[in-house]
Structure 1
Amino acid sequence: MQAELAHQALHTLTIVEIKSFISASLFKDFELALDQYIIYRNLIRLSQSEYQDIHLAIKDDIYDSFFQRKSVQTLVDINSIALVSVDVIKEEVIQWIN
């Protein structure tokens, strides 16, 4: 599942890139998501558009397991990745993580 959503909050627009993490290698999925996130973020900064933030949305169970690994947390921190944990069954945001 991949989609782009925008929401307006406190006069800023945020792009949310949704990633599934469904391949046999979660780390490979993470690598692809990280690369795409960084490219999108840089293009947004270069375009000076009204969009000011970009978040990587992931299923809550992937956040609660894979994203709790020390190595993944370190890469998220180093690259300043903003995350959104989502319950896809209830179709609701669980947590915005900056």
Structure 2
Amino acid sequence: MPAKDIYHDSCKQALIKDGWHISHDPYNLKIGRKDLFIDLAGEKLITAEKDTQKIAVEIKSFVSPSEIRDLETALGQYILYQNILSRVAPERTLYLAIRDASFLKLFEQEVGQILLENQVLKLITFNPNQEVITQWID
């Protein structure tokens, strides 16, 4: 079982407050003989559509001395998980969850803007102190 990220529990609580039912903690991705683990998976009933939205969430703290190195690692993991999810659980949408502070440091800068403009990844930003979701970026 993988170690939990520093902000795992606060992100999980933020998702619950946002109306998500956490169905897996962690979410096991089995591909061939390999087991990988996404931090969380959840479901939410969309009443207007009478359908259930399903997500998988990889939480990253970005606390090392190099934010760019953290971004490179998170992006590689996101791409790997996204490609596996598309094969084994295509009904789930993968999100990378990061703190508001990390978003400001990286995604309001040109390096992060390029990733958002090219729709390389989907993001959830959250406030770990208040345990609330602040943005969904598709």
State TM-score, norm by structure 1: 0.88
Q: Is the 8 A contact 1:12 1:50 kept in 2?
A: no
The two structures, once aligned, show a CA RMSD in angstroms of 1.7
- Corresponding residue of 2:94: 54
Matches for 1:13-92 after TM superposition, within 5 Å: 13-47=54-88, 49=89, 51-78=91-118, 80-92=120-132
Q: Is the 8 A contact 1:85 1:96 kept in 2?
A: yes
Deviation of residue 51 (structure 1)? 4.2
**1:21 partner SS:** coil
Q: Is the 8 A contact 1:13 1:50 kept in 2?
A: no
Inter-partner Cα distance in structure 2 for 1:51 and 1:37: 16
Letter in 1 for 2:71: F
Q: Which moved more, 1:15-24 or 1:1-10?
A: 1-10
Q: Is the 8 A contact 1:84 1:94 kept in 2?
A: yes
Deviation of residue 92 (structure 1)? 1.3
**2:107 partner SS:** helix
**2:135 partner SS:** strand
Q: Is the 8 A contact 1:7 1:13 kept in 2?
A: yes
State TM-score, norm by structure 2: 0.64
1:5 matched to 2:40? The reply is yes
Q: Which moved more, 1:60-69 or 1:13-22?
A: 60-69
Inter-partner Cα distance in structure 1 for 2:54 and 2:104: 27
Deviation of residue 73 (structure 1)? 1.5
Inter-partner Cα distance in structure 2 for 1:77 and 1:58: 18
Aligned residue pairs, count: 97
Q: Sequence identity of aligned pairs in percent?
A: 32
Structure label with greater radius of gyration: 2
Deviation of residue 34 (structure 1)? 0.1
- Greater helix percent: which structure? 1
